[in-house]
Amino acid sequence: MTSMSSSAVYPLPAVIRTHPRVLSIAGSDPSGGAGIQADLKSIAAHGGYGMAAITALTAQNTRGVSGVHVPPVEFLRQQLETVSSDVAIDAVKIGMLGDAAVINEVRTWLVKVRPAVVVLDPVMVATSGDRLLRESAEAALRDLLPMADLITPNLPELAMLLGEPEAEDWPAALDQGKRLAGECGNTVLVKGGHLPGAQCPDALINTSGLLRQDVIEVGGPRVQTRNSHGTGCSLSSALAAVQARTGDWEASLREVKPWLREALMRADDLEVGQGSGPIHHFHHLRESSRPGAFAALLWKEAAVELEAIHGLAFIRDLGSGELPESEFSYYLAQDALYLNGYSRVLARAGALAPTEEEQLFWARGSQQCLDVESVLHRNWLSGREATTQSGPVTKAYVDHLMASSASGSYGVLLAAVLPCYWLYAEVGQQLHADFVQAGSPENHPYADWLRTYADEDFAEATRKAIALTDAAAAAASGRERAAMKEAFVQSCRYETAFFDAPRLHS
């Protein structure tokens, strides 16, 4: 153990970078949960630019390792020299090294290049029990430890590095961490993953005054999941990336630990493999950018309004045929007036559309509104006494749509026009279904009107309008999405008010 302290190399001050360039020197796990695959995801999840020099190839999956191949060290040297002769490396994470020749190669490169942050995860045995470092290379690995700024052994590795039995509780683990930090002269992260209990703490240990105090413990609850493959790799590479940005180990651990916990909590979502699956590195990516997520959120709002609409006397009486003719006429006249304004805002959506296909869709919708308006006048309003003045609800609704179109946001405009498709399609479908269920009675005074609701083209256009709004939301900022939701909710309220207006204003 004496070689550890005698060959200590003192780290240069960390260069604080927003997007640190982080090199992982580690083995490959083709199942993507550990090794360089986990490192690259982890680095990217923390805003770093990840690179990888591969020390070894493993054949492994979530159930274990079936083979290890260590390519000639000359090729590792070529990888390391080629990358570092071109790219300035802000941080290095070292993982599986495989054998003594690889360790020596990495040591030679570290002496030459000496990046500002070096994290060494002394990978020896996978949690599955498979060896990832030749037993004969353990001494060489011990000699490499002082070259790192941070060492992140799990408890079996900590014990092996000290030549002691594995710690059985947290205080014993901390004691071992102190001994290793003392021998290496650098910082050791003691990890609680291999101990039982409801808590899963980690602790940074450095007895030479490099930390705020000798032991800095960061607690956290243990997550109940069998999917924890690659947590050690993911933690060490995340720490390398964050340290290059913060320059402060404690701050880095406090940032990474809650991320790791959430990655474990969301690991089961990934459904990878039949053994111990990977953690979810990108759990924090905006859920709202998932296709359909924004539409689902809007649907929750629409469903509330839909219930209100179905509770209206107008809808009930239109369905049963008991709606006073004056109310029906008022509704049709307001619909014609509304469609004229709606046509204008759909044309504006066409003008803002990012693609020609979308532009065409909205332009067609705009034209169809005018076609329906003229059908309303020709077939439904010509023999009726009906107002040609916009009622208060029609006016307010069209004003809201115009204001949304004036916002200049394509997403906000789409969200504002969507309820007219969506709620109208839902209400119409229900009214038509009830009418058919009742045997499509010919003597129903509104039979011809109720039949118009069974329009597959309109249902198709509604699906398209929902998908376009959802896609616009995925591309929008958080603030714009909030404005989209507000515009949508407002239009939903106007839809309800529109169906209730004949009762109040005819």
Ligand X SMILES: Cc1ncc(COP(=O)(O)OP(=O)(O)O)c(N)n1
Ligand Y SMILES: Nc1ncnc2c1ncn2[C@@H]1O[C@H](COP(=O)(O)OP(=O)(O)O)[C@@H](O)[C@H]1O
* 236/506 with CB nearer ligand X: 236
Helices (H), 197-324: 231-246, 249-265, 293-310, 313-320
Q: Sign of the C-alpha dihedral, residues 17, 21, 24, 28? A: positive
Q: Is 419 in the site for ligand X (CB under 6 A)?
A: no
Q: How far is the CB of 395 from ligand Y (least distance, A)?
A: 58
DSSP for 320-346?
HT-S-HHHHHHHHHHHHHHHHHHHHHH
d(CA 266, CA 231): 13
- Out of 177, 232, 278, 341, which residue is the one contacting ligand Y (CB under 6 A)? 232
Q: Sign of the C-alpha dihedral, residues 302, 303, 308, 310? A: positive
Q: Is 180 in the site for ligand X (CB under 6 A)?
A: no
By CB under 6 A, the residues from 463 to 482 that bind ligand Y are none
Stretch that binds ligand Y, among 229-237, 403-411, 414-422, 471-479 (CB under 6 A): 229-237
* 127/288 with CB nearer ligand Y: 127
Q: Is 229 in the site for ligand X (CB under 6 A)?
A: yes
* 101/215 with CB nearer ligand Y: 215
Binding string, residues 15-54; x marks residues near ligand X by CB under 6 A: -----------xxxx----xx-------------------
Q: Is 58 in the site for ligand X (CB under 6 A)?
A: yes
Stretch that binds ligand X, among 121-129, 159-167, 397-405, 455-463 (CB under 6 A): 121-129
d(CA 238, CA 256): 7
- Out of 202, 335, 480, 495, which residue is the one contacting ligand Y (CB under 6 A)? 202
* 38/420 with CB nearer ligand Y: 38
Q: Is 127 in the site for ligand Y (CB under 6 A)?
A: yes
Contacts of 196 (CB under 8 A, 6+ apart): none
Question: Smallest Cα–Cα separation from 219: which of 200, 238, 235?
Answer: 200
Q: How far is the CB of 92 from ligand Y (least distance, A)?
A: 18
By CB under 6 A, the residues from 233 to 292 that bind ligand X are 233
Q: Is 222 in the site for ligand Y (CB under 6 A)?
A: yes
The binder of 260, among ligand X, ligand Y, none, by C-beta within 5 to 8 A per type, is ligand Y
Q: How far is the CB of 232 from ligand Y (least distance, A)?
A: 2
Q: Taking a C-beta distance cutoff of 8 angstroms, is the pair 152, 181 a contact?
A: no
Question: Smallest Cα–Cα separation from 185: which of 164, 158, 203, 209?
Answer: 209
d(CA 51, CA 32): 15
Gap between the terminal Cα atoms of the chain? 94
Stretch that binds ligand X, among 160-168, 229-237, 265-273, 384-392 (CB under 6 A): 229-237
d(CA 235, CA 213): 22
Give, for 274, the enclosing helix (H) or strand (E): none
Question: Smallest Cα–Cα separation from 436: which of 316, 319, 313, 332?
Answer: 319
List residues binding ligand X (CB under 6 A): 26-29, 34-35, 58, 95-96, 123, 126-127, 132, 229-233
